Amino acid sequence: MSQSKSASIMDARILVPAISGAFKKLDPRSLARNPVMFVVAVVSALTTILFLRDLLTGGANLGFSLQIVIWLWFTVLFANFAEAVAEGRGKAQAESLRRTRTETQAKLLSGSERDAFRLVPGTSLKVGDVVLVEAGDIIPSDGEVIEGVASVNEAAITGESAPVIRESGGDRSAVTGGTQVLSDWIRVRITAAAGSTFIDRMIALVEGAERQKTPNEIALNILLAGMTLIFVLAVVTIPSFANYAGGYIPVVVLVALFVTLIPTTIGALLSAIGIAGMDRLVRFNVLAMSGRAVEAAGDVDTLLLDKTGTITLGNRQATELRPVRGVTEQELADAAQLASLADETPEGRSIVVLAKEKYGIRARDMQSLHATFVPFTAQTRMSGVDFDGSSIRKGAVEAVLKHVDLATVATGGNRASASTIREIQTIADDIAKSGGTPLAVVRDGRLLGVVHLKDIVKGGIKERFAELRRMGIRTVMITGDNPMTAAAIAAEAGVDDFLAQATPEMKLALIREEQAKGKLVAMCGDGTNDAPALAQSDVGVAMNTGTVAAREAGNMVDLDSDPTKLIEIVEIGKQLLMTRGALTTFSIANDVAKYFAIIPAMFLAFYPQLGALNIMGLATPQSAILSAIIFNALIIVALIPLSLRGVKYRAVGAGALLSRNLLIYGVGGLIVPFAGIKAIDMAITALGLV
Amino acid sequence: MTVNGWIQILVFCGIIIALVKPLGGYMTRVFNGERTILSIIFGPLERGLYKLAGTSDREEQHWTTYTGAFLLFNFAGFLLLYVMQRVQGSLPFNPAGMGAVPPELAFNTATSFVANTNWQNYGGESTMSYLVQMAGLNVQNFVSAASGIAIAIALIRAFSRKSGKTLGNFWADLVRATLYVLLPICVVGTLVLVWQGVPQNLNPYTVATTLEGAQQTIAQGPVASQMMIKHLGTNGGGFFNANAAHPFENPTAFANLIHMVMIFAIGAALTNVFGRMVGSEKQGWAILAAMGVLFIAGVVICYWAEAAGNPLVHALGIDGGNMEGKEARFGIVLSALFAVVTTAASCGAVNAMHDSFMALGGMIPMINMMLGEIIVGGVGAGFYGILLFIIIAIFVAGLMVGRTPEYLGKKIEAKEVKMAMLAVLCLPLTMLGFTAIAIVLPTGLASIANPGPHGFSEVLYAYTSAAANNGSAFGGLSGNTPWYNLTLGLAMLMGRFLVIIPAMAIAGSLVTKKVSPASAGTFPTHGPLFVGLLVGVILIVGGLTFFPALALGPIVEHLAMIQAPGL
């Protein structure tokens, strides 16, 4: 997977603009999106007014009040800064995307004639228009190839410079506006109007312009707002209590207590965490169409994975030659190699390699043999060579047996003996059972044996599945193979289950069945026939090489078209939720220390006995209050890197994960502020700030 | 603190733990509508009641209908009780010739008994006729407890039902809780109490001549029957003003043990009902364990504070623990234990005067109530109370396993969090809010007996007790004034219904959700980790809010005592 766009968290190009961004975000309309920080801003404004009043009327403790006011505003600014940094990273990415969105001219076709086009601006195209795109042209908008085949450079969106083939029909018919045709020509039917193309959506997504709060984020905001209200009650009742005790608490102190108690840490970092989560996906070259999808990824219970390309290497390889009785392995190897010399498929090449490595048969030159290559066709399902009146064929066992049958009828020769056919079939079954694909070889009507083509399971994939199992995620392999072959590969790869001879309908049925059990399902797909399943699944990752239908149906698009990424996507989803939980826990646990800093300081004037609660031994009541509010503000800055990077995810069971995180963020959250507040108290006392 | 004291505490805990499974199993059968051994006796009566009410136990209710029925029933009960008090002078069974109860007091008392609080601004033997005690107050003792159980059962069904719309039938749950659970235990228990010497008669008060020749009026009446339900239903409203400290209510140590066991029995068993209904008893034990941790901590602190006694008294050469306001037949350990039990559950019966406890000893009952009485808690109320905290705990920490938080497979989302926060918010609002107002108003201040932090504690305790539907009083505060009658009544209503309505909204939302099956990635909610987490969240989210108030009440009182000059 490419992490080409990785930028360091503390990049000056992002940090510097973020500082001015922090001030711009003081706009009440922007603050109102975040209830906790909005409340902090309101009380900061209130204390500022009170301070100004005291300044004019000559109140006491002006220096102390001023410092509190300053740190209150810093609390708000730090929160804005965190959000601006998170957004900054997306903005940088959006900029580079925007550069690709240059003004293009489109060759709008009016009829079926290829040359009958007129030049119009790309932005004027409507859905359903048909345009011609020739070598060198930029594709004006998203569309579907309806005629022709062309190589296209999609580096603008994928960062991958190797051109890809786009052709009409099939699963590679989608083209993206902003990409460039390198060779040939295609006729494209436009599927997206200007402003709503794929690149436009990408820009909006990475910029966070259309960022909607996700369900979990909304719920968390409610919790934080609720806690804020609880602390409003805890604080507004204090003046009455103090009055009963014959004391008076200055408003600025009450505000300080209030702001330190409400969950400002998580409130300040919440949106940064969300933006950074989306950003992490973008760095993996995955575009999530909504934050909801990212969250759902963390909840996935079942992963549907296509066998080919995800679990196994895309190509099967020859690993073994099994001759029938009366034929030597060498003889079979010779024939198989000859039949494969001109076969450019990976399977064919692997036969040549096997013949050379295991049987020492060198590659021969087709020309010098006067051989002609007989390519594979869907009808014959065989390929091979004809030379010197001799013919060799290799192909699917049934196809070869049929060929032998026809050949003997045509030549009037002897039918292949029933026992040889049975032997071939036994070998073939044997190979299929072990998860391989049998390829029969025949020379001049004589069955020689079977080539064992093996699906090579990707290295390390078994460990990944074991990891997923520990995370509580079930993996299901989807394959078109017969159940026997599928079972063997499933066992080798270590998936939990498999769906053999899968059709799109079966996939859809499987997803519905899992969902009926209350499970969340993730899958990836690229073909139009995957679209219903992609739409039905909770997390549907469409491959960028896929069809328009698939891309529309999924809620994520993988620009690298790498189906293995589903696993990383799940981890990123989990990391996003974990980071929120960890910082919420930390924020709430912090309150204990803050109480112990402020409560004794606050009431000391009329209940000196409460000095016993000053267990941190803070210097003076004023230094105690100031230290608490400074700690409260600085902890936001200190946690920005964590909120952007995310809490590290480990593939262990939920119990182990929870105890680890509870220890770090829960117990840590109890202890850290005691140390932090004490240190700040010592520092500001030494500096003589109070 | 003595070994004997600890043994008594352990015996109590042992009995409760032993009761959880059998009572939980029985109650599960009852609320599932299955046959029990008592079906032969109560079956026909139960069906007759449904026929009379024009309902059927098979008629399932949506959460709004269920809650509507609950509110309607409680409102009717309130009206009936109010009217009975106002006209008791013209009703029978009034040998002491009690007159009409004043309106504010009647409002306060009616609210108090309907809301399962049993705050008593009246002296039972000097205000209420036998008819009001039996047919008014005691009926509410039964049905307010049964209503609370019904709500808890509805909430449990929200978790145990795999995606549905309805939560059961309120009327059926109410009838079953009363007939099969409360009534049989009370009948047996009443007989035991009578054997222990608790009066049960309709006689007029006895006028006796004492040894000195003075005339003494000895109040009596149908006491035993009220005692059982008062504890079993965590009501706490005493027949006599002195409550369970009165020798006729609580004559022996054995009667005292029965009282305490009754207070915890149903609340503790409900955790097991929950476990059984959701299909894993471990889930119930985990909740009970969290309650147990908080309970034991409370008992240890309270017992220690009382046993340690007052250093100022020690300085005078008088050793020993604090016996002020305690009955000699119970001593320090049973008084401390009773105080923690009665406030952990929302009972409110007292066998010693909490006002006379040491500052820290008296703080524990206050904290128990401030947490919302989720340590076993009121029958039903304790269970739905702790479920609210579980929802918050799961939501906060559940995220840390990297999944949308879920409890028993039901996803905790915005709606549940909103309602849980609303319910939790209600406690500081009523407890701190009313206290803050009362202590600045002359009318509020006038009722305070002691100045300084202790007086503050008296007011704080009163509103805390009312809002938590406990009903125990700190003493010292003269509550029978129009201000306190009305505001305490309001606090009781808010503390009961503003928690129940959101809790039922949560039930209504959860019951419709599909259950996602547990996997290795699911947050485990039956182990020590969860217990620790829950305790932490209860203390930090529920308790910290009250830290400033406690600092200005019991904490400063304690610190002033130990820092007093001359020590």
Q: Are B478 and B447 in contact (CB under 8 A)?
A: yes
- Taking CA–CA distances from A520, the nearest residue in chain B reads B516
The one-character DSSP state at A60 is S
Q: How would residue A409 be classed by pLDDT, with cut points 50, 70 and 90?
A: low
Q: How many C-beta neighbours within 10 Å does residue A196 have? A: 13
pLDDT in the model for residue A4: 39
Q: What percent of chain A has pLDDT over 70?
A: 95
Which pTM was predicted? 0.86
The torsion region of residue B498 among left (phi > 0), alpha (psi -120 to 50) and beta comes to: alpha
**CB-based contact (8 Å) between A584 and chain B?**
yes
**Is the ipTM reported for this complex over the cut 0.90?**
yes
Report the pLDDT averaged over residues A238-267.
94
Q: Are B518 and B326 in contact (CB under 8 A)?
A: no
Q: Are B186 and B232 in contact (CB under 8 A)?
A: yes
Q: Which helix (H) or strand (E) holds A448?
A: strand A446-457
Active-site positions of A read 306
Token digits of residue A564? 């293995």
Q: Summarize the annotated binding site of A for Mg(2+) as residue ranges.
A: 526, 530
pLDDT in the model for residue B510: 95
- Asked if B437 lies within 8 A of A585 by C-beta distance, the reply is no
Work out the minimum CA distance from B429 to partner chain A, whole angstroms: 6
3-state DSSP assignment of residue A284: coil
Q: Between B418, B425, B536, which is nearest A666 by CB?
A: B536
- Kindly list the residues from chain A whose CB atom is less than 8 angstroms away from the CB atom of residue B540: 588-589, 591-592
Q: Distance between CA atoms of B349 and B241, rounded to whole angstroms?
A: 11
- Asked if B432 lies within 8 A of A592 by C-beta distance, the reply is no
Work out the minimum CA distance from A225 to partner chain B, whole angstroms: 9
Question: Residues A189-204: pLDDT tens digits?
Answer: 888 887 777 777 777 7
Name the nearest CA neighbour of A395 among A326, A347, A346, A331.
Answer: A347
Question: Residues B361-381: pLDDT tens digits?
Answer: 999 999 999 998 899 988 989
Name the nearest CA neighbour of B402 among A152, A171, A655, A38.
Answer: A655
Token digits of residue A341? 């010399």
Name the nearest CA neighbour of A592 among A285, A364, A260, A154.
Answer: A260
pLDDT in the model for residue A208: 65
Predicted confidence (pLDDT) at residue B436 exceeds the cutoff of 60 = yes
Report the pLDDT averaged over residues B188-212.
91
- Asked if A243 lies within 8 A of B429 by C-beta distance, the reply is no
3-state DSSP assignment of residue A254: helix
Q: Distance between CA atoms of A535 and A526, rounded to whole angstroms?
A: 12
Q: What percent of chain B has pLDDT over 90?
A: 72
pLDDT in the model for residue A485: 82
Give A142 or B504, the one with higher predicted confidence: B504
Question: Residues B127-146: pLDDT tens digits?
Answer: 888 899 888 998 999 999 99
pLDDT in the model for residue A102: 65
- Asked if B397 lies within 8 A of A581 by C-beta distance, the reply is yes
Predicted confidence (pLDDT) at residue B351 exceeds the cutoff of 50 = yes
How far CA A287 is from CA of A1, A199, A543, B242, B276, in Å, comes to 14, 11, 11, 71, 45
pLDDT in the model for residue A55: 92
Interface test with B, best of A214, A216, A224, A657 (most B CBs within 10 A): A216
Interface of B with A in 405-464 (CB under 8 A): 409, 412-414, 416-418, 421-422, 424-425, 428-429, 432-433, 435-437, 439-440, 452-453, 456
3-state DSSP assignment of residue A182: strand
- Asked if B398 lies within 8 A of A241 by C-beta distance, the reply is no
Q: Between B520, B529, B560, which is nearest A470 by CB?
A: B520
- Asked if B400 lies within 8 A of A658 by C-beta distance, the reply is yes
Question: Residues A437-478: pLDDT tens digits?
Answer: 888 999 888 889 999 988 888 888 888 888 888 888 899 998
Q: Distance between CA atoms of A471 and A650, rounded to whole angstroms?
A: 9
- Asked if A662 lies within 8 A of B453 by C-beta distance, the reply is no
pLDDT in the model for residue B86: 95
pLDDT in the model for residue A412: 54
Question: Residues B94-105: pLDDT tens digits?
Answer: 888 888 999 999
pLDDT in the model for residue A415: 58
Q: Which helix (H) or strand (E) holds B4?
A: helix B3-31
pLDDT in the model for residue A44: 96
Question: Residues A579-605: pLDDT tens digits?
Answer: 999 999 999 999 999 999 999 999 998
pLDDT in the model for residue A681: 96
- DSSP notation for A105-164: EEEEE-SS-SS-EEEEEGGG--TT-EEEEETTPBP-S-EEEEEEEEEEE-HHHH---S-E
The one-character DSSP state at B514 is P
Q: Are B394 and B407 in contact (CB under 8 A)?
A: yes
Q: Distance between CA atoms of A571 and A564, rounded to whole angstroms?
A: 12
Predicted confidence (pLDDT) at residue A5 exceeds the cutoff of 80 = no
3-state DSSP assignment of residue B375: coil
Q: How would residue A431 be classed by pLDDT, with cut points 50, 70 and 90?
A: confident
Report the pLDDT averaged over residues A3-23.
71
Strand order in the sheet with A446-457: A312-323, A446-457, A436-443, A390-395, A382-387, A372-374
Interface of B with A in 347-406 (CB under 8 A): 392, 395-404
Q: How would residue B71 be classed by pLDDT, with cut points 50, 70 and 90?
A: very high
- DSSP notation for B225-293: HHHHHHHHTT----SSTTGGGSTTTS-SHHHHHHHHHHHHHHHHHHHHHHHHHHT-HHHHHHHHHHHHH
pLDDT in the model for residue A416: 64
Report the pLDDT averaged over residues A180-195.
85
| Burial class of residue A161, CB neighbours in 10 A (0-12, 13-18, 19+) | exposed
3-state DSSP assignment of residue B27: helix
The torsion region of residue A494 among left (phi > 0), alpha (psi -120 to 50) and beta comes to: left
Give A44 or A481, the one with higher predicted confidence: A44
pLDDT in the model for residue A635: 96
Instruction: Spell out the long-range contacts of B282-287 with Cβ–Cβ below 8 A and sequence spacing 24 or more.
Output: B282/B526, B283/B408, B283/B525, B283/B526, B284/B24, B285/B526, B286/B525, B286/B526, B286/B527, B286/B530, B286/B531, B286/B534, B287/B386, B287/B390, B287/B534
Q: Summarize the annotated binding site of A as residue ranges.
A: 343, 347, 376-383, 394, 526, 530
Report the pLDDT averaged over residues B262-288.
95
Token digits of residue A79? 């929160």
The one-character DSSP state at A543 is E
- DSSP notation for B131-190: HIIIIIIHHHHHHHHHHHHHHHHHHHHHHHSSS-SB---HHHHHHHIIIIIIHHHHHHHH
pLDDT in the model for residue A563: 74
Q: Which helix (H) or strand (E) holds B76?
A: helix B63-86
Predicted confidence (pLDDT) at residue A225 exceeds the cutoff of 80 = yes
- Kindly list the residues from chain B whose CB atom is less than 8 angstroms away from the CB atom of residue A657: 400-402
Least confident of A206-215, B175-184, B434-443: A206-215
| Burial class of residue B446, CB neighbours in 10 A (0-12, 13-18, 19+) | exposed
> What type of residue is B363?
M
Q: Distance between CA atoms of B328 and B335, rounded to whole angstroms?
A: 10
Q: Which helix (H) or strand (E) holds A475?
A: strand A474-478
pLDDT in the model for residue A3: 39
Question: Residues B491-548: pLDDT tens digits?
Answer: 999 999 999 999 999 999 999 998 888 887 788 898 899 999 999 999 988 888 999 9
Q: How would residue A6 be classed by pLDDT, with cut points 50, 70 and 90?
A: very low
Predicted confidence (pLDDT) at residue A674 exceeds the cutoff of 60 = yes
- Kindly list the residues from chain B whose CB atom is less than 8 angstroms away from the CB atom of residue A267: none
Classify the C-alpha dihedral B230-B236-B239-B245 as positive or negative: positive
